[in-house]
Structure 1
Amino acid sequence: MNIRLQLFEFEDQPWFPHVIRQGMLDFLRFMITRLNAYEAAIPLLQELLERTRSSHLTDLCSGAGGGIASVQQQLTQRMGKPVQVTLSDLYPNLGAYEYIRHESGGAIDFIPEPVDATAVPESIKGVRTIFSSFHHFPPAVAKAILQDAATKRTAIGIFEGSKKSWLEMLLLWLFFPVIILVVTPFIRPFSISRLFFTYILPLIPLGIIWDGTVSLLRIYTPEQLRQMASEVQAPGYTWRAGRVGAGAGKYVIYLIGYPEES
């Protein structure tokens, strides 16, 4: 699937009810965590941390923080020292972030104020990451996110948990409606509103299927990511894009960038 269509996702709309958006993001976090979807990205993240002599990730566009706990644990194990993670978003999901911070024992923290990925404050440090969110941005905004990281000489890793294939689209349509109904009672933190908008008034399942379909169509291919990165004004900055992983739910499309050592 080499096409990219900039269709709309409900999750992106400012008017979209927060309770529905949060329910959709909580499901995404649950599935990414259960599938360990970003396992193949761990060596790339380790490379970025080692190149920048850092042990801190600042996650942008965190949504509900899907998979970040597993990423933090695996990096800590591989690097032999604690890796800290800070979550952030333009629309912070504070309930999910509080839960993740508690479950991680404080290894994962968050910024409660909105953070714009195209203009990250100088005070926010650490290797920047974006998981499952970069496709939300049209090319001009996506390029601005890369430019901001490069201008501030900060390493960044963009990761999409997908192979971007028509088979994934088919699996989404055929199996996800059932999966959503089965797993929703097990998503934490528990929420009555999530149950209501899943089983009584099924706005969360409808939103997930629609936004999931659009997400697959909006994900940038490695070739498109390379082209975008080549247009960023970043002397002394290295970019690399590609696909890693194998097996259902295990493919990752990535773009990493880091300043070259002086």
Structure 2
Amino acid sequence: MKLPYNRPHFFEFHDQPWCPPTVTAQAQAILTFLWTHRIPPFQSRAPYHGAADVLSGLIRELEGDKKAQEKGKGRLKVVDCCSGAGGPIPAIERVVNKQRVDSGLTPIPFVLSDLNPHLSSWAKATATSTSNALSFIPYPVDATHAPAELTRERHIRTFCLSFHHFNEDAARKIIQDAIKGADALCIFELQEPRLESLLELLAIFPLVFLVTPFTKPTISILILTYILPVLPFLMVFDGLVSAYRTRSLEHVRYLANLANLTLNLEGNDVSEWSWNEGRRRHTWPSGKMYWIIGKRESDGSSSW
């Protein structure tokens, strides 16, 4: 369904500063589980595989861009923004780099970052990386203003189930900063404002009961799940709001045009960017991962 670009930015419970940290952490743990685990018989593989496929295709294209390579900005890498406790990126990194090693290619570096770094969780994730290509930035990173040391190198910025958390102004600034310093921007969402997606989100309620035992829950989380079902309700509510907030390709292009205008007014030399979208089924019958990719164009580049 088509929604106005300037629609109200409704709140999600686990985003609020007054939400107990244990509840926020559990919501993130459940979302990570749903990203990284297959739920039979409704899924043939976990959703992160679809994101890995899309990202691998983009990496191959950017690595084949001879003009960009001649600029001497070093190897391409993937920088995940708003990583939280890690999300699906460790799993995506594992798949992408296994495919590369199997094809005789060097593993590509993946970097976790967040405004509120989860250092202990990230350290555990990097320690289990079989390619030793997963690392993290130990200090706060603002997705609207990347540090200079990051923009000096060729990189792809990813947002996994996080771009919809930003309001219009912040989303525009994220795109603007990416256009200024990145080679590409990837937005991955597991929901969107479509009727079939909204209906499937209702299935989160029973899923929370099934998934919770696998997330190392505390006593308080068990009470808020099985005795007082606050968490199942919260997850459904936040999921529906996430779908409502998810931006379409046209919306992102609109924000990119505003970002380009601002950059031009500031006297920046702005490269042309192309934007496309796609969907990959992750859950039967109609659950689909929705992705939007923007990438810096150069002479002779091609769409994929």
TM-score, normalised relative to structure 2: 0.75
Q: Distance in 2 between matches of 1:219 and 1:159?
A: 10
1:155–1:259 CA contact under 8 A, matched in 2: no
1:118–1:145 CA contact under 8 A, matched in 2: yes
**Structure 2 stretches lacking a partner, 5+ long:** 38-45, 70-74, 264-269
Question: What is the root-mean-square deviation of aligned Cα atoms in Å?
Answer: 2.6
2:156–2:182 CA contact under 8 A, matched in 1: no
| Equivalent residue number for residue 42 of structure 2 | none
Q: Distance in 2 between matches of 1:166 and 1:40?
A: 26
| Equivalent residue number for residue 210 of structure 2 | 182
> Percent identity among equivalent residues?
31
| Equivalent residue number for residue 160 of structure 1 | 189
| Equivalent residue number for residue 84 of structure 2 | 63
Change (3 A) 1:12 1:259: farther
**Which is greater in Rg?**
2
Question: Are 2:293 and 1:252 equivalent residues in the alignment?
Answer: no
Change (3 A) 1:153 1:55: closer
Which amino acid counterpart does residue 28 of structure 2 have in structure 1? Answer: L
Deviations 1:148-200 (A, max 9, x none): 12222543222222354211211212x2111111111113xx34254344334
| Equivalent residue number for residue 76 of structure 1 | 97
| Equivalent residue number for residue 91 of structure 1 | 116
2:157–2:182 CA contact under 8 A, matched in 1: no
Change (3 A) 1:132 1:88: same
Question: Are 2:250 and 1:229 equivalent residues in the alignment?
Answer: no
Question: Are 2:135 and 1:109 equivalent residues in the alignment?
Answer: yes
Candidates 134, 143, 147, aligned match of 1:121: 147
2:80–2:111 CA contact under 8 A, matched in 1: yes
Bigger Cα displacement from structure 2, 192-201 vs 155-164: 192-201
Q: Distance in 2 between matches of 1:153 and 1:183?
A: 37
1:163–1:253 CA contact under 8 A, matched in 2: no
Q: Distance in 2 between matches of 1:48 and 1:242?
A: 16
Residue 41 of structure 1 and its aligned partner are, at CA, apart by 2.3
Change (3 A) 1:153 1:86: closer
Bigger Cα displacement from structure 2, 113-122 vs 12-21: 12-21
Q: Distance in 1 between matches of 2:232 and 2:128?
A: 26
Which amino acid counterpart does residue 209 of structure 2 have in structure 1? Answer: L
| Equivalent residue number for residue 212 of structure 1 | 239
**Structure 1 stretches lacking a partner, 5+ long:** none
Residue 18 of structure 1 and its aligned partner are, at CA, apart by 1.9
Count matched residues: 259
2:274–2:297 CA contact under 8 A, matched in 1: no
Residue 62 of structure 1 and its aligned partner are, at CA, apart by 1.2
Which amino acid counterpart does residue 33 of structure 1 have in structure 2? Answer: T
Residue 207 of structure 1 and its aligned partner are, at CA, apart by 2.4
Residue 136 of structure 1 and its aligned partner are, at CA, apart by 0.9
